[in-house]
Amino acid sequence: MSKYRTAYVNARLIDPASGLDAPGGLLAEDGAIADIGAGLFAEGGPEGAETVDCGGMVLAPGLVDMRVQLRDPGHEHMEDIGSAGLAAAAGGVTTMVCLPNTDPVIDNVALLEFVARRAREVKLAKVHCYAAATRGMQGTQLTEYGLLGEAGAVAFTDAETAIADAKTMQRALSYASTFGHIIMQHPEEPALCDGGAMNSGEIASRLGLSGLPPVAEVMMIERDLRLVEATGGRWHAAHVSTAASVEAIRQAKKRGMAVTCDTAPHYFALNEVAVGDYRTFAKVRPPLRGEDDRQAIVEGLRDGTIDAIASDHSPYDQDSKRLPFAQAAFGIIGLETLLPLTLELYHNKHLSLSEALALITCRPADLLGLKGGRLAKGAQADLVLIEPDRPWKIDEVAFRSKSKNSPFDGRPVQGHALRTVVDGRAIFIHGREG
């Protein structure tokens, strides 16, 4: 049987994991990277291979989005594995890690296997799953971490619900540590946030909306850090949004603790002003914060305190969002905007191009123990070809996602995916459907 081969020539190779940033080429063969190097294929591609001329554009590892809500099973009218896969492909995402807050909740092996089987059938971006940390995400009884980990769960979380009970979190950290698993927390003290709709402060008061205070986030983080010290467990804070949270995690890392965190593009690209006159598409949880907090998130990304960027893709239909602000659902979509918004950190000179791409490739992959996120011989041929400087405007009408709940509609950005490749197979080519 003849091998399927694709030669990528005339590329700017960027592999954040190894520090490679040089003109060169790459050969993908039967789903893996057979050869890569600066200067490779300078005279053109090899015989018998399909040749893709990259035109000097950036060839990088495919994006790894470590926080995605697929809504499948249970709410497929908002999103499903197929539509999320198309959105991911258009955004340069080759690996998605989905939250367990489906209906029913992913808290058993059968549901993990269902999602894996559906992803294989769809044949687009790869899909990995978190499993619920507690049964039904009810915050009391722990799930079977050992069995779920063997079945493919990459970490354990109650998704958008904080594990509020300290004893439950202590038990979760201890139990997970016996298997080397991570407990991922939605850091929010629920009692302080009951009924809140946006960031506490002057704007919330002017709009007559109940607040979600920044202190609620750091309080939960500081409590959990004490429990990590007591148990020796591995712990991760999802979508950090405040200066105090970044500083608490920065100090914990300096003490050598096994803690990590991520943020989402809206926490460094927007602040609470985006809520405007009750714009429900800017309603997220944690909420968009003040400008000082936004700048602190940027600084946390610059100095490495924040380990990764995730889209926090949370699709909702119009019926869930076109409501009075206090009643509307929390969440925005992000698969198709993860790349250009992350590239703002490069265009605004906060990070180098390689540093920005690391936050959405090798760093989330390494954090979760996934194989993707790097360009190396023998690695999976999960690739994205990027035109990093091309200006365009985000247009919700063009989104492949079933849902359109984005606050970035009409935002001028730079950089987009030209081609997305999974296991050597192109799943998206810019300007060509299908």
- The whole-angstrom separation of Cα 188 and Cα 62 is 31
Q: 47 pLDDT band (50/70/90 cuts)? A: confident
What pLDDT does residue 1 have? 31
Nearest to residue 310, comparing CAs of 376, 363, 387? 363
* Strand residues in 174-237 grouped as ranges (E): 182-185, 198-199, 211-212, 234-237
Q: What is the pLDDT of residue 212?
A: 98
Q: Give the mean model confidence (pLDDT) for residues 237-242.
A: 98
* pLDDT tens profile 108-162: 999 999 999 999 999 999 999 999 999 999 999 999 999 999 999 999 999 999 9
* pLDDT at site 15: 98
* Domains, the chain, with CATH or none: 5-59+381-429 (2.30.40.10), 62-368 (3.20.20.140)
Q: In 235-350, where does DSSP find H-type helix?
A: 243-254, 265-269, 291-302, 318-321, 338-347
- Amino acid 432: pLDDT: 81
Query: Residue holding tokens 């300078």?
Result: 42
Binning pLDDT at 50, 70 and 90, where does residue 42 land? confident
d(CA 115, CA 363): 24
CA–CA distance, 86 with 102 (Å, rounded to integer) = 19
- What is the distance in angstroms between the CA of the first residue and the CA of the last residue of the chain? 27
Contact (Cβ atoms closer than 8 angstroms) between residue 411 and residue 274: no
- Cβ neighbours around 349 below 10 Å, total: 7
* Residue of 21, 262, 293, 312 marked active site: 312
Structural tokens at position 144: 């079977």
Name which residue leads in pLDDT, 2 or 61.
Answer: 61
Residue 331's nearest CA partner among 53, 69, 9, 32 is 69
Question: Is residue 158 annotated as part of the catalytic site, yes or no?
Answer: no
| Cα(180)–Cα(155) distance, integer angstroms | 9
pTM for the model: 0.97
H or E element at residue 66 = strand 63-68
pLDDT tens for 324-382 read: 999 999 999 999 999 999 999 999 999 999 999 999 999 999 999 999 999 999 999 99
